Structure 1
Amino acid sequence: MVELVSVAAVADNGVIGDDGELPWPSIPADKEQYRARIANDPVILGRKTFDSMRDDLPGAAQIVLSRSVDSFDAATAHHAADVEAAVAVAESLGADTAYVIGGGKIYELFQPHVDRMALSRVHGSYDGDSQYPEWDAADWELVESTAYDRFTLEEWVRVDRDGADTGAA
C-alpha cells in the first residue's frame, strides 16, 4: 500500500494560493526542503497545478487528476480520474510513498486518505483564493515541529481514535 503524504505551504489563515501563485514572497528555505522531500517519488496534483509547474516539474513522476484532460506532453506525467486511480498509478510505478501537492481541491479530495501531512506554516495572513482543508485534530498527532525564518515545518501523522499511530513506518 502506498503511503500518501500531503505537502503544503499554509499561511496562518489557511490560505495556500492566489490565482495559481503563492501569495507571499518567495521563501527559499521552504522551496529547498519541499523539492528535496518530493524529488524521488511520484507527486499527485491537479491539472492547473501541473500546468503551473511545467517549466520545472516536481517529483520523479506526476500523477495528474483531471476530468477534462487524459494525456499530457510530459514523459513523466500520468493521468488519474480519482483518488483510487491515482493510488493505483503510484503503485504501478513501484512507489512506497506518493506526495499530494495540490491545489486546494486536490488537497480536499485526498484529506480523508492521507497518512501524513508535511505542512510549512508560513508566518502571517495573506489574501488568496485557495485554502488548505480543515481537519479533525483528534485524527492527527504533531510529531515534529522545526522553526525556520518565516515558516515552521510541521510533520503530522494520522492516528486512530484510540491514539495509536496508523501512519506507515
Structure 2
Amino acid sequence: MITIIAAAAENNALGKDNDLVWHLPDDFKRFKELTTGHHIIMGRKTFESFPKPLPNRTHIVITRKTDYKPEGCIVVHSLEEAIATVTNDDTPYIIGGGEIYKMAIEVADCIELTRVHGEFEADTFFPEISSKNWKIVDSVFHDKDVKHAYSFTYQTYKRKK
C-alpha cells in the first residue's frame, strides 16, 4: 500500500523556500511514528531540506541529476523506479515535495494528511484531493496550544475502489 504523508494548509500550501511555514511538534512526532522502519520516497529538494538523513528509514531520492549520490540513500530517476525499488515493505511513504505528490496522488492507495487550519503564502502546494477518487476514513482534530500556533486535523484518506 503506497501512502502519501503530508501537512498542507487549507489553501494546500506545503512550504516556502524549501522549508515548512509552520512548526507543529505533534505532527513531526506522528510523522516519525508512521514512517519509522519504512521506505520514504522524496524528491531531491525535500531530501536536501533535512539536516541529515532521518534515522531508521530507507531513503529513496528521486532526481534528474545523474551524478547525484548522497550517502546512505538510494537514488532513482522516476517515481515508478522508486516504487519498484521498495522491497520487504508493505507501506512505503511518499513524503514530498510538491511535484512528487502530484505524480504520487495518481498511484497512491492512502493519504495521511495533516490539514493545517489557516492559509499561508507558499511556493509549493499539495494537489487537490478529489472526492471522486478519495474518501476520508478517519479524522482527528488538534486545537492550537502553547506548542502549536495553529490548529490542525489528521485526516486519513483511502482511494475509492
Which among 101, 117, 125 is matched to residue 123 of structure 1?
A: 117
- Structure (1 or 2) with the greater helix fraction: 1
**How far 1:59 sits from its partner (Å)?**
5.5
SS at match of 1:138: coil
Give 1:121's aligned amino acid. R
Deviation, 1:133, is 0.7
For the residue of structure 2 that corresponds to 1:85, the secondary structure is helix
The answer to whether the 8 Å contact 2:135/2:157 transfers is yes
Identity of aligned residues (%): 33
Distance 1:71 1:119 in 2: 30
- What's the CA shift for 1:49? 0.5
- The count of corresponding residues between Structure 1 and Structure 2 is 154
Q: Cα distance, 1:123 vs. partner?
A: 1.0
| Structure 2 spans left out of the alignment, 5+ residues | 144-150
Amino acid at match of 1:34: F
Gaps of 5+ in 1: 161-169
Residue matched to 1:53: 50
CA–CA distance in structure 2, aligned partners of residues 43 and 61 of structure 1 = 6
- Residues 43-94 of structure 1: CA deviation (Å, up to 9, x unaligned): 000001101114252651111100014543322x101111221111113xx1
What's the TM-score, normalizing by structure 1?
Answer: 0.86
* Deviation beyond 6 Å, 4+ runs, structure 1: none
State the superposition RMSD in angstroms. Answer: 1.4
Residue of structure 2 equivalent to 1:141: 135
- CA deviations 1:111-154 (Å, max 9, x no partner) are 10000000000011110000001132111110000011211000
